[in-house]
Amino acid sequence: MVLFRYPRPLPSEITPKEMYLSRRSLIGGAAAFGALTTAARAAALQTHPGPYSGGLTPTPHDDVTHYNNFYEFGMDKGDPAAHSQDFHPLPWTLEITGLVRKPVRLDIDQLLHSPAIEERIYRMRCVEAWSMVIPWDGIPLASLLKDADPDPRATYVAFESVLRPSEMPGQNEGLSGIQWPYVEGLRLDEAMNPLTLLALGIYGETLPNQNGAPIRLVVPWKYGFKGIKSIQRIRLLDHEPPTTWNRLASDEYGFYANVNPQVDHPRWSQATERVIGSHSLFGATRQPTLMFNGYGEQVADLYRGMDLRKNF
* 161 annotated ligand-binding residue: yes
* 310 annotated ligand-binding residue: no
* 71 annotated ligand-binding residue: yes
Nearest partner of 231 among 99, 94, 117, 101, judged by Cα: 94
3-class DSSP state of 168: coil
Strand partners, 288: 272
Q: For residue 138, give the H/E element and its range.
A: strand 130-140
Q: Specify whether the CB–CB gap between 235 and 179 falls below 8 A.
A: no
**Cβ-Cβ contacts under 8 Å for 303 (sequence gap 6 or more):** 256, 258, 311
* Ordered alpha helix ranges (H), the chain: 17-27, 61-64, 79-83, 108-112, 141-148, 188-191, 244-248, 296-299
Nearest partner of 9 among 276, 288, 281, judged by Cα: 276
* 126 annotated ligand-binding residue: yes
3-class DSSP state of 183: strand
Distance separating alpha carbons of residues 2 and 138, to the nearest angstrom: 33
Q: What are phi and psi of 175, to 5 degrees?
A: -65, -35
* 229 annotated ligand-binding residue: yes
* 72 annotated ligand-binding residue: yes
Q: What are phi and psi of 291, to 5 degrees?
A: -60, 135
DSSP string over 269-305: --SEEEETT--BTTBS-EEEPPGGGGTHHHHGGGGTT
* 201 annotated ligand-binding residue: no
303: buried, middle or exposed (CB in 10 Å: 19+, 13-18, 0-12)?
Answer: middle
* 227 annotated ligand-binding residue: yes
* 228 annotated ligand-binding residue: yes
* 69 annotated ligand-binding residue: no
Which residues are annotated as part of the binding site for Mo-molybdopterin? 68, 71-72, 126, 161, 211, 216, 227-229
Which residues are annotated as part of the binding site? 68, 71-72, 126, 161, 211, 216, 227-229
